[in-house]
Amino acid sequence: MNHHRALRASTDTGLTIFLIMIVGVVLWTTDEMLGWNLLPDWIDKYAQLLVIIFSILAAFAVVISVMCSFAVMAESTAEKSGIGAPAFSRRAKLIIAAGILVAFGIMFGLHKVDQYRAGSRAEAEKQRISARYDEVRTGLQNLIPATIALFSPEAKQFLTGKPSPDGDEAIARLLTAIQVSTPFDPAVSIMVASQSPYTHCVITTLPERQRQTQTGDWKYLSRKYLTGFPSDWERNAIQAGFTGKEMSVPRGKSGVFINTHLPSSWGTLSHGDRVAGIVMLQGSM
């Protein structure tokens, strides 16, 4: 091996990489600090990866250059002492080549093992999340009848009537009690019909720290009024619920009231001969 040539090549490569990194740092600093937007967007996206790659290449170039420097000094000393450099035999070259191939093979095998283990972990995590989802959803579904029974005729009247401080406080107290008393700590919300120009209203409780207004009054509930539903599946499901039919909701859907990405369960509140509202229990993962 010609160590002089290797020394020159590694040194030139290292200096070139360092020069590129210096120019890159100057451009990146100008782009970020002064906001001149000199660099294309893809460089911003892969800047960290490029820095790592160039740093590794520069480190290898420096190490090779240092090793070649020692080799050149050793050869020079050997020549002055009259010691000739040993020639590599064909067998030695084959052993070195085979060693390099084996090293690459081992790295490739380890990479495949890492991919397999990562896939196994991802699959196990997916199964765990699915099992947890089914557990929470089933638990909430079993609790819906008892939850619906907690709403007295007066509470249903508060929900369908004109908002009042006393009624809001009573509903907020009930919804908070349902949440803290129900396993899986579900978020509780109620959808009721609303007057024109709105079609429905979603009622939830406000956190206690947000209940006192700046004027000193008290506000217990949050009301989100709707003029419609952006998705057909949710509109059809809500219409079915308010007509006393079964609500068919596809899994993996998210709307303004229904979100089956999270384990959820719901039931209808009957008031007289009509549906007063839909109670939603939405657990967390």
For residue 132, give the H/E element and its range: helix 90-149
Task: Please tell me the total number of residues recorded for the chain in this structure.
Answer: 285
| Confidence (pLDDT) at 138 | 94
Residues of the chain with pLDDT under 70: 1-4, 6-7, 31-32, 35-45, 47-48, 75, 78, 82-89, 92, 208-218
Per the DSSP assignment, residues forming a β-bridge with 223 are 203
Residue 260: CB partners within 8 Å, gap ≥ 6? 249, 250, 251, 252, 253, 254
CA pair distance 221, 175, nearest whole angstrom: 10
User: Crossing angle, helix 165-181 and helix 153-160, to 10 degrees?
Assistant: 120
CA pair distance 61, 15, nearest whole angstrom: 9
Query: What's the half-sphere exposure (Cβ side, CA atoms, 13 Å) at 279?
Result: 26
Fold for the domain defined by 143-282: Beta-Lactamase (3.30.450)
Residue 22, both tokens: 């210096």
3-state percent helix, strand, coil for the chain, nearest multiple of 5 = 60, 15, 25
Q: Per residue in 244-272, pLDDT tens?
A: 898 988 888 899 999 999 999 999 999 88
pTM beyond cutoff 0.75: no
| Confidence (pLDDT) at 217 | 56
CA pair distance 196, 181, nearest whole angstrom: 35
Strands (DSSP E) along the chain, which ranges?
A: 187-193, 200-205, 221-226, 264-271, 274-282
- Rounded to whole angstroms, what are the CA distances from 165 to 63, 152, 179, 201, 224? 77, 18, 21, 17, 17
For residue 18, give the H/E element and its range: helix 3-33
**Measured on CA atoms in the order 273, 146, 259, 233, is the torsion positive or negative?**
negative
| Confidence (pLDDT) at 3 | 57
User: Is the preceding peptide bond at 40 cis, omega within 30 degrees of 0?
Assistant: no
DSSP state of 196: T
| Confidence (pLDDT) at 26 | 75
Q: Per residue in 190-204, pLDDT tens?
A: 999 998 899 999 999
Q: How many C-beta atoms surround the C-beta of residue 145 within 10 A? A: 9
DSSP state of 151: -
Q: Output the CA torsion 170→175→176→180 (10° steps).
A: 140
| Confidence (pLDDT) at 145 | 94
